[in-house]
């Protein structure tokens, strides 16, 4: 079946439909990862976005039920150069196309993804539409221009859990488990604010001896303090951090009262709560090969990233905040810590393990702060 992708600048791409037949709008972005499409598709940080994969062949190892980062695909749409309808992997339970149909995710294949990626890099991420329902260019472009902008959009409230819950699933990958004695397992009680949390973050925290309670994005800080956790974790998530005002206010009430660790959107919200500012990147960082320098050790970590906004390091109070990590591609901020309080955060995803273990020490650092 024929499908069209139209960008808000008027660019038109004609290809073939795979996945669900229909129509969808969203911010068109690209991801440079060679593998991991299932984790990308289920990452809640991609809510509201049409994701383009720069690697040309996608779908060849199918889909399984073990590598999900959330219960279902979160993307608005999916764009690939070539979709493999044949899944060859002993863990696969269905093809990627079948899975997208099941979850009503619209996809398009057979377009020039290199051209699309270069356009996004030059002009910036922009709104787009994928349709199998109509090929009327003018009508589709009008729908694109009515779609919401990502700036000013609070998407955390759309992907967060509705109710608090306990998490007890451990990462059982043998090489990934830290060395813990039985007396250390379950030693620390951690409250996780769910702004769109990835499941592997929860598995890594549990593997480091944490008992996890996940709470909604708007859960009152006063109720968190009544739970008397050993630490508070601020999760990743989609949208504009400045729009998540309730999250910023809750974090302000927790600063100085509990150890805090933030990742991705959690990093940005923590910066805003500390008086900093955030801004929208031209085309964002999305992929599994971003080099980040640890300024404390001088080492370089290969990191997984997925964000369209960043923290302005110049807006942070240098008398209380220390910059700890920087992106070697564009010198954007990748991490900071408070100089006197047990608070730190990073922009990238240490749980995603592209290094594969370059950044796992951050979970150990959180545990160390809680154990003081």
Residue 264 bears catalytic tag: yes
Residues 6+ apart with CB under 8 A from 307: 45, 264, 265, 268, 281, 284, 285, 286, 347
Q: Is 125 left (phi over 0), alpha (psi -120 to 50) or beta?
A: beta
Marked catalytic residue, from 8, 27, 69, 351: 351
For residue 285, which of 344, 347, 356, 236 has the smallest C-alpha distance?
347
What letters, b where the CB count within 10 A reaches 16 and e where it falls short, cover 270-284? bbbbbebebebeebb
Q: Are 128 and 26 in contact (CB under 8 A)?
A: yes
For residue 211 the two structure tokens come to: 């008992």
Q: Which of 285, 325, 338, 349 is catalytic?
A: 349
Per the CB < 8 A criterion, the answer to whether 140 and 302 are in contact is no
Alpha-carbon dihedral of residues 137, 138, 144, 145, nearest 10 degrees? 160
Q: Is 338 a catalytic residue?
A: no
Spacing of C-alpha 28 from chain mean position = 15
**Number of Cα atoms under 13 Å in the Cβ half of residue 90:** 0
Q: How far is CA 244 from CA 39, 103, 169, 198, 257, in A?
A: 24, 27, 28, 18, 21
- Considering the candidates 264, 307, 325, 338, report the single residue annotated as catalytic: 264
Q: Is 102 a catalytic residue?
A: no
Catalytic machinery residues: 264, 349, 351
């Amino acid at each position: 079946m024929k499908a069209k992708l139209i960008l808000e600048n008027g660019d038109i791409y004609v290809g073939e439909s795979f996945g669900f037949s229909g129509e969808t709008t969203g911010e068109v972005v690209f991801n440079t990862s060679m593998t991991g499409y299932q984790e990308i598709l289920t990452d809640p940080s991609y809510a509201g976005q049409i994701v383009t994969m720069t690697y040309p062949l996608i779908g060849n190892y199918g889909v399984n039920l073990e590598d999900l980062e959330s219960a279902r695909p979160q993307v608005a749409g999916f764009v690939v150069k070539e979709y493999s309808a044949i899944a060859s992997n002993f863990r696969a339970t269905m093809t990627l196309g079948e899975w997208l149909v099941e979850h009503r995710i619209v996809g398009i294949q057979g377009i020039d993804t290199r051209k699309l990626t270069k356009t996004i890099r030059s002009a910036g991420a922009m709104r787009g539409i994928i349709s199998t329902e109509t090929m009327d260019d003018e009508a589709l472009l009008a729908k694109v221009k009515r779609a919401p902008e990502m700036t000013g959009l609070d998407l955390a409230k759309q992907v967060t859990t509705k109710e608090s819950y306990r998490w007890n699933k451990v990462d059982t990958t043998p090489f990934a488990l830290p060395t813990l004695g039985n007396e250390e397992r379950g030693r620390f009680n951690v409250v996780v604010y769910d702004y769109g949390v990835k499941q592997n973050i929860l598995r890594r925290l549990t593997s480091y001896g944490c008992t996890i309670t996940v709470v909604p994005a708007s859960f009152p800080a006063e109720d968190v303090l009544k739970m008397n956790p050993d630490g508070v974790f601020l999760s990743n998530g989609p949208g504009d951090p400045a729009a998540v005002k309730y999250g910023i206010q809750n974090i302000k009430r927790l600063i100085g009262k509990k150890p805090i660790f933030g990742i991705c959107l959690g990093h940005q919200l923590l910066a805003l709560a500390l008086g900093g500012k955030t801004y929208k990147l031209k085309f964002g960082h999305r992929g599994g090969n971003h080099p980040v320098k640890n300024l404390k050790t001088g080492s370089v970590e290969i990191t997984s990233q997925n964000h369209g906004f960043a923290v302005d390091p110049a807006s942070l109070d240098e008398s209380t905040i220390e910059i700890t990590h920087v992106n070697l591609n564009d010198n954007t901020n990748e991490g900071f810590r408070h100089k006197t309080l047990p608070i730190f955060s990073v922009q990238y995803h240490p749980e995603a393990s592209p290094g594969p273990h370059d950044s796992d020490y951050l979970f150990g650092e959180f545990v160390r702060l809680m154990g003081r």
